[in-house]
Structure 1
């Protein structure tokens, strides 16, 4: 089997690993049962599989009974930075109009309509969403929505999308990096209708590392290893270069196979991996994961506990019990006495 065949087999395998399945089950359930105008945010580190997840969600929702009677039940776009590295809300609106197959903004008329004002485009988008019966808008690479020219405008695009969902009744589903959380958590109105789903990496401890080992063992069977070399035997090294992200693992294996091909070798060795990953590449990804861990703090359960209200004592009953029978309560004396 040549290297290209190995790569095709590897990419076709696309293991439905537990983290992916859990994230998909959660986002699908929230999409199916969510209120109109709600916002669902799937966040996670780079190359963990968010784009693959968004594509699978698109295909599953499109053929479900949730969208019966809709002309175009859902659209999926990427939040591309097209304005010299910055996000253009006008371009974003145009992309949605194209996805809705608006007759004024098809491929032939696209350039001719760039002169339309953003307000005009937004009005047509509102009408198009209602006319098409669209229920879901999926936006991939949503962290790009924060790439605004002015720091004062950070979050304005998110607020605009929230208003779009509110006005049209669509469910907005965003897929992006953890940096989205810092801006989202600052908006009370957005938090009031948002659900956050953490599509995390595999941690290096506990049950996660055992699952990660199983993934490595499954992939090992597809690769042309030299004697004594395999992912599982060098798990700590492989983990240090992937941080438990499935997409990073597949990308690294692909690069190592390219090195094997360049060296005219027929077997894969760890040397081929070492040549295609740098420490400096991993550092910012590690920082992003640590940011996600610090921000995704789940609300602790208080089942069976008295509801704690800020600024209000939880020991009022104990205080009342400490008063002996016949003791005056000065606070209840009439005014002037």
Structure 2
């Protein structure tokens, strides 16, 4: 039994196709198939049911894959230990970022990080929080940037910054005449608030601010978009109001800035953290990311009197 064979098994289990698994593993399909067959012969079991399309794991195969993930991850960590001992910061590092953070934060730190740590091969994926948690637990991601707290026992959270919510209000809304926007104003606008579609933790943040489990259905229409830009344009047409994360408002035009209304202190805010499995050993790269991001974010956002809202949906 070899680590290479276990990697091939994991690839087939993920892609459910020998040809695609071989392609992703950078070997020929006959080589991959032969190595898996040799492992099955050694163990005297069938790991895959090849009669089904797509290929399925057998009952014992599912148990083998679970253990194979642990073995492969631990083998990778041996190299991590050596790298840390040598002070080497390099190699492949997979990081997930939630969609509402990616457009604003990534451009702020990516150039600085790649210039300072050119030997690190960052693989960046935009993923929703639920997927990120699963991928961290399975070892498919080394770390992620997401809204916290997530209340996951197996995941470590290191806070990067606190980001207040800012109301974006059309001129035909009574709240436009006010200097500040309150939670009461938000609750009064629930029937015409524009939110990100279900599945975005930012949506849960907003609903949790006003302690609502869902939006009322007494409006002429209800729009749920995956894009802040879409919601901003709808607000500009006077079709509702929305909440935006603070960093999404810093580069707005003067005309758009006039429609922003801040909450009084303590401002409802989200906590954005660097998260990773408690079993993760690439701490030297994680710490390099943390210090780089903290260095660039410090000048852009420095709010302390805040009230953190949960990204976890409260029913």
TM-score (norm 2): 0.27
**Per residue, is there more strand in 1 or in 2?**
2
Larger Rg: 1
**Per residue, is there more helix in 1 or in 2?**
1
